[in-house]
Amino acid sequence: MDKPLVLLHLDTDALPSVFDRVVAVDAGVQHLFSYGGVTPANVVALVHGCIFTRGPKDLHRTAIFVGGSDVDAGEAVLAEVKKHLIPAYGLSVSVMLDSNGANTTAVAAVRAAAKHLDLAATTSLVLGGTGPVGRRVARLLAKHGGRVTIGSRQLDRAEAVARSIRAAYPSAHVEAVAVASSADGPKALDGKHLVVAAGAPGTVLLPKKLRAGATALKVAIDLNGVPPTGIEGVELTDKGTDRDGHTAYGALGVGGTKMKIHKAAVAALFTGNALTFDLDEIDALAETLG
């Protein structure tokens, strides 16, 4: 008889996320072990608890999910987890990173854009492009071959993100722009087919009057779920909705796809015992979901 599906949920916040716990259950996890306050310094015993209990032939029925609100902290935990797996002896489990929903949200946003645009021929502006979600949106857009501009209130922060994307994808067309004042907006939007706003909750990054002057703009995606919306005139529930001649998506419009991708990725963890689901793998999985 198959052993039950066990997910070890490692959260870098003190209280493990209820959201991630519910999604795990809905993805078919039978036993969910959630730990809060996880750091690289205390994760080793938790990993050993996974890999030294079941034999290699059953380890595909144990998996690890790394979450929490701090994406950098999640990345550090993921790196440490991977150091302590021993795949040469089959002592490994699959691992997914989705701190702050950053990976699944970015993949869902880019898939929304791809419904309307040929990404390889798309020129994009990612506002709030220095945050965890925006960085991933920009990276995916660049990976798919488009020209991407990272917007930030501080040019040097946007330039650092652009450099990191070019380091990952040397052929990527990525640049940075300062969007510190409304006077910067027209230049930042000039020639852009797609704008994605990934700013902090409740912050308006793109006023309606600037969007009205963006003649090349076709698709506007806002990921901020806390009103006021990050792109003025785009509603939370927009999902391919026409807003002033632009195809618009709001946070809830993208959120349905994000949930589908998140659940599918958790379920996919149990298809092997040495898989990693980070941004690129979750993007590839989403391609198969249609």
- The smaller minimum CB distance to ligand NAP, of residues 123 and 224, is found at 224
Burial class (CB in 10 A: 0-12, 13-18, 19+), 242: exposed
- Closest to 98 (Cα-Cα) out of 284, 281, 229, 287: 281
- What does DSSP say about strands 219-222 and 194-197: parallel, antiparallel, or unpaired? parallel
Is 68 near ligand NAP (CB under 6 A)? Answer: no
Is 138 among the residues that bind ligand NAP (CB under 6 A)?
A: no
Q: Which is nearer to ligand NAP, 154 or 215 (CB)?
A: 154
Number of residues engaging ligand NAP in binding (CB under 6 A):
26
Rounded to a whole number of angstroms, the minimum distance from the CB of residue 153 to ligand NAP is 4
d(CA 209, CA 75): 38
Residue 255 in contact with ligand NAP, rule: CB under 6 A? yes
Q: How far apart are CA 64 and CA 47, in angstroms?
A: 8
Helix (H) or strand (E) holding 134: helix 132-143
- Per rule CB under 6 A, is residue 198 in the interface with ligand NAP? yes
Q: With contacts defined by CB under 6 A, name the span among 33-41, 59-67, 97-105, 140-148 that binds ligand NAP.
A: 97-105
Residues in region 170-189 near ligand NAP by CB under 6 A? none
Residue 165 in contact with ligand NAP, rule: CB under 6 A? no
Q: With CA atoms as reference, report the closest residue to 250 among 233, 270, 264.
A: 233
The only residue of 153, 166, 173, 239 in contact with ligand NAP, by rule CB under 6 A? 153
Q: What are the distances in angstroms from CA 208 to CA 93, 151, 227, 231, 240?
A: 48, 17, 15, 7, 18
* For ligand NAP, the closer CB: 7 or 223: 223
Q: Which residue is nearest to ligand NAP (CB)?
A: 131
The residue within the footprint of ligand NAP, chosen from 15, 121, 168, 200 (CB under 6 A), is 200
Q: 185, 110, 174, 169: which is closest to 147 by C-alpha?
A: 174
Give CA 167 to chain center in angstroms: 19
258 binds ligand NAP (CB under 6 A): yes
Does residue 89 sit in helix, strand or coil? helix
Choose the binding region for ligand NAP from 10-18, 114-122, 183-191, 220-228 (rule: CB under 6 A).
220-228
Of 92 and 222, nearer to ligand NAP (C-beta) is: 222
Distance between CA atoms of 209 and 211, rounded to whole angstroms? 5
Q: Report 225-254 residues binding ligand NAP (CB under 6 A).
A: 225, 251, 254
Interacting residues toward ligand NAP by CB under 6 A: 100-101, 105, 128, 130-134, 152-154, 157, 198-201, 203, 205, 223-225, 251, 254-255, 258
